[in-house]
A = this chain, B = another copy of it.
Amino acid sequence: MEEKKTAHQLLADSIKFVLVGTTHPGNIGASARAIKTMGLSKLFLVNPKDFPNDVAFYRAKAAKDVLEQAEIHPDLFSATKDCELIIGTSARNRKIPWPLVSPREASQEIVQALQQGVNKVAVVFGREDRGLTNEELGMCNLHVHIPTNEEYSSLNLSQAVQILSYETRLAMLEHYDLVEKPEWDVELADNEQTERLITHLDELMQEVNFYDTQNPRKLLTRVRRFFKRARIDKMEANIFRGLFSAVQKNLRK
């Protein structure tokens, strides 16, 4: 429980998403919603063209609190002064290559940094049309590139925010072993039960002369493979057994 609290607090408190020079307020609102669905809360806006704006609040839906608390800064340096790890989104093709990672690697870098005592991390997103300037990219420790379609790489800003916040949440949940495993409501049938089910079905098939008992092999193997592969659970097996019995009772009348 303590660990869980820590993971969720790190997501909410230690990681800021910084949008630089955003033109469309709708993208700011959609980004606020995107990060909140992933448990993040800190949105920083560097020199937004049109904010505050009703469109941003409309698109944020129930993430209006993220927008209300968003810090507005005149430049990237001012927005990231307290950050010890800065990751900038990049479309690549820079003259001098910078350390470049995938979104998944970036999120692992973030988790690792926070484990090693880093207090503040920034993930930085550029303008809709031109991304980050070379000067802004030069302020980053790492660049992250989303592996888009080479023929159409124009990802919407809030979609890029969604992918990076999703990967960050996932890496954090994985690190704290908080990934929920789906539960099945019924135990799987054990081998004895499964074998009895198959035998019962075989009995029924013979009762209706469904196959040539002189040459049954392939059919029975396929039936067997189906139930084994499907990993039938105890209740499903009981349903089939009950059905077979009811059918047999009616046949024998």
Residues of A within 8 A of B (CB): 30, 33-34, 36-39, 61-63, 96-97, 99-102, 104, 145-149, 151-156, 158-159, 162-163, 166, 169-170, 173, 179-180, 182-185
Contacts and interface: CB of A to CB of B under 8 A. Distances in A.
29 contacts: A30-B156, A33-B159, A34-B159, A36-B149, A36-B152, A37-B155, A38-B148, A38-B149, A61-B154, A62-B152, A63-B152, A96-B185, A97-B182, A97-B184, A99-B182, A100-B182, A101-B182, A102-B179, A146-B166, A147-B169, A147-B170, A147-B173, A147-B179, A149-B169, A158-B159, A159-B159, A162-B162, A163-B163, A163-B166
Given A34-B156, A166-B163, A180 B147 contact: yes
Given A37-B148, A37-B154, A63-B152, 8 more contacts: A37-B155, A37-B159, A96-B185, A104-B170, A146-B166, A162-B163, A163-B163, A163-B166
Contact of A97 (B37, B173, B185): B185
A189 to B, nearest CB: 16
- Closest 4 interchain pairs by CB? A100-B182, A39-B149, A159-B162, A37-B148
